[in-house]
Chains A and B, each alone.
Chain A
């Protein structure tokens, strides 16, 4: 069973609207959590990284939150743009194994004009 579960699997939103993606994980002991954006036909690109002591981090219109107690994270996209259409991947690393990551299957976001 995957140790990182993401929801929803996909969503469609109108340009200018906000959306929130969810990530639940069971990886333990926890070291850090990252969100990646993957455009179609490209490799993933890092958006944010949070350690257990951080509960929010922003990168432009992207804001990630982390609740290490409930093992949940969310990625909020504000004022979506057509270029936000991509797959968003939640990635968790276990303490002491930062180079071995657990990847979620991703949420595919489609932004429509």
Chain B
């Protein structure tokens, strides 16, 4: 899983509680991403970061916030968990290619966190 760890790997929580998922990388890559994966859907981008303290929203950002205080850590927080946020969450990382035909290298994914909101 390319030097990417996610914690916890599994979590069950109740509606209305805050939840924080952690992504940690040892590759020193600039870009980090949070996705969710649901049956019948492709991976959908929640938030991404292009540097320390630099973050931006993805297509499904409502109800989620992120923080990146260090290059290696990217935190995803569900401010008040809802049942619709039951999903598998993946963190990914990528790096800028110097002189390549495209801007960033392949995204490398972590092992995922399975979150159940009751």
Q: How many A-B residue pairs have CB under 8 A?
A: 60
CA distance in complex: A96, B94 (Å) = 15
Stretch at the interface among B13-21, B68-76, B79-87, B97-105: B97-105
Whether the pair A43, B109 counts as a contact (CB closer than 8 A) is yes
Docked Cα-Cα span, A93 to B107, in Å, equals: 11
Contact, CB under 8 Å: A45 / B109: yes
Q: Which residues of B contact A51 (CB under 8 A)?
A: 101-102
Q: Considering only CB atoms, which chain B residue lies closest to A98 in the complex?
A: B103
- Flag B82-118 by CB within 8 Å of A: 1 or 0 each: 0000000010101000000111101111111000000
Q: Does A46 contact B (CB under 8 A)?
A: yes
Check: B78 CB closer than 8 A to any chain A CB.
Answer: no
Task: Please give me the residue from chain B that is nearest to A46 by CB atom.
Answer: B106
Of the residues B43, B101, B103, B110, contact of A99 by C-beta under 8 Å? B103
Question: Chain A contact residues (Cβ within 8 angstroms of B): what range?
Answer: 20 to 34
- Per the bound structure, the CA–CA distance linking A103 and B38 in Å amounts to 12
Closest to B50 in A: A99
Q: Return chain B residues, CB-CB under 8 Å to A43.
A: 1, 4, 90, 92, 109-112
CB proximity to A under 8 Å, residues B42-64 = 42-45, 48, 50, 58
A22 sits at the interface (CB 8 A)? no
A32 located at the interface, meaning its Cβ lies under 8 Å from any Cβ of chain B in the complex: yes
Q: Which of chain B's residues has its CB closest to A52's CB?
A: B101
Question: Does A60 reach chain B (CB closer than 8 Å)?
Answer: no
Q: Which residue of B lies closest to A5 (CB)?
A: B42
Contacts of A101 in B (CB 8 A): 43, 45, 107
Tell me whether A41 and B112 are in contact (CB under 8 A): yes
A89 within 8 A of B: yes
**Measured CA separation A37–B42 after assembly (Å):** 13
A2 within 8 A of B: yes
Binary contact readout B6-41 vs A (1 if CB under 8 angstroms, 0 otherwise): 000000000000000000000000010100000011
- Contact present for B42 and A105 (CB under 8 Å): yes
- In the assembled complex, the Cα of A46 lies from the Cα of B1 at a distance in Å of 11
- The reply on A81 being an interface residue by CB < 8 A is no
Render A19-46 as a binary contact track against B, CB cut-off 8 A, 1 for contact: 0000000000001101000000111111
